[in-house]
Amino acid sequence: MYPLLQPLELGALRLRNRIVMAPMTRNRAGPGDVPGELAVAYYAARAGAGMIVTEGTQPSRHGKGYCRTPGLHTPQQIAGWRRVTDAVHAAGGCMVVQLMHTGRIASRYNKDADARTVAPSAIRARGRMFTDTAGLVEFDAPEALSSAEVADVIAEYADAARAAREAGFDGVELHAASGYLPMQFLSTGTNERRDGWGGSRNGRLRFVVETLAAMSAELGAGRLGLRICPGNPFNDLYDAAPADTYRALLEALAPMGLAYLHVIRSPLATLDAFALARECYGGALLLNDGFDFDSGNAAVAGGVAQAVSYARAFIANPDLVARFTHGWPLAPFERRTLYTPGAAGYTDYPAHPAPQ
């Protein structure tokens, strides 16, 4: 049997195969940032994955950066997600929610009028983002969180972890990649704090470590994953010594007993994130970025990864596991409809026809 088709236990999570659907923001949430019937159909059609990691989902209204992203902090959002997890479970799938607080990568046009844009330090990211109401706009200038407010943000993540259980999720993944809030704390270019939440390498790690600990108290570490991409400059992020930062982070995580660590290939030629993770982290690794079926099988067979995640391949191939298994061709996706509202380019990609 192909290594990717073998079942796997990741902490308390039970995967029927090792082909994970990676998180993808698709901007289809309805009013109130509630996932609706389209999300039910989209995720249920992809339940053949060993595990689905949802699109980035804000733990609080302050954590929202983009337009039409779903939340997990109101009763309506929890009820919306419950319909999604029920459908995925009915189809035999396993599903974790990715909590994404975008920090300074945000526009006030994309969030409630009383929501703030916050970051470790008041340093504005260079760049622009799309908004429904004002088109392309500069990122907001963020407010620096006070020491007490950092603890409040961690409490929001813990509340969202509790909400995840209520919504029927099997677990939670903390998004600490792509230049969002947790990565802003980790990195020298965005964290100039002088209190215990910065000021030294261990100070920069503290937000991620304490957020995981707070969510673990709600769910158990065996239902918790962490996503990282060491050295990624995306969203104007800079760290002076990413290998040093992530080596220390991985050593701090080791005793926590997380279900998995989700590592995205580093874009830096000088940093092999997979090798660093294998060297410094003894737990289960879920690897991502640019894998096909053959390279995924090789990563699992070689003991480099316990599972592999696929993002873009799942967009136009809801039945990706069946296509891989039978060697059927993969359909290409339409770029134009990646982030547009509605069913087009979201729920209208068909499964491969069964052979006669």
**Under the rule (CB under 6 A), what is the footprint of ligand FMN?**
22-25, 55-56, 98, 100, 175, 177-178, 227, 264, 288-290, 310-313, 338
Residue 103 to residue 106: CA distance in whole angstroms = 7
CB atoms within 10 A of CB 105: 27
Residue 333 to residue 310: CA distance in whole angstroms = 14
State the minimum distance, in angstroms, from the CB of residue 294 to ligand FMN. Answer: 14
State the minimum distance, in angstroms, from the CB of residue 338 to ligand FMN. Answer: 5
- Please say which residue, 263 or 284, places its beta carbon nearer to ligand FMN: 263
State the minimum distance, in angstroms, from the CB of residue 152 to ligand FMN. Answer: 23
Which residues on neighbouring strands pair with residue 143, listed in sequence order?
118
- Please say which residue, 55 or 140, places its beta carbon nearer to ligand FMN: 55
DSSP for 272-337?
-HHHHHHHH--S-EEEESS--HHHHHHHHHTTS-SEEEESHHHHS-TTHHHHHHHTPPPPPPPGGG
Which residues on neighbouring strands pair with residue 58, listed in sequence order?
71
- Please say which residue, 278 or 312, places its beta carbon nearer to ligand FMN: 312
Here the tokens at position 317 are: 């191939």
State the minimum distance, in angstroms, from the CB of residue 54 to ligand FMN. Answer: 8
- Please say which residue, 204 or 227, places its beta carbon nearer to ligand FMN: 227
Residue 243 to residue 276: CA distance in whole angstroms = 8
- Please say which residue, 107 or 178, places its beta carbon nearer to ligand FMN: 178
Calculate the alpha carbon distances from 342 to 25, 134, 144, 283 in Å: 14, 20, 36, 39
State the minimum distance, in angstroms, from the CB of residue 291 to ligand FMN. Answer: 6
Q: Is residue 32 a contact partner of residue 74, using CB atoms and an 8 Å limit? A: yes
Active site (annotated) includes residue 180: yes
State the minimum distance, in angstroms, from the CB of residue 285 to ligand FMN. Answer: 14
- Please say which residue, 193 or 235, places its beta carbon nearer to ligand FMN: 235
Q: Which helix (H) or strand (E) holds 77?
A: helix 75-90
Given 42, 43, 157, 180, the catalytic residue: 180
Look-up: residue for tokens 């999300």?
A: 39
The residues, any chain, with a CB within 8 Å of residue 21's CB and separated by 6 or more, are: 46, 49, 51, 52, 53, 309, 310, 311, 314, 320
User: Which residues does the annotation mark as catalytic?
Assistant: 180
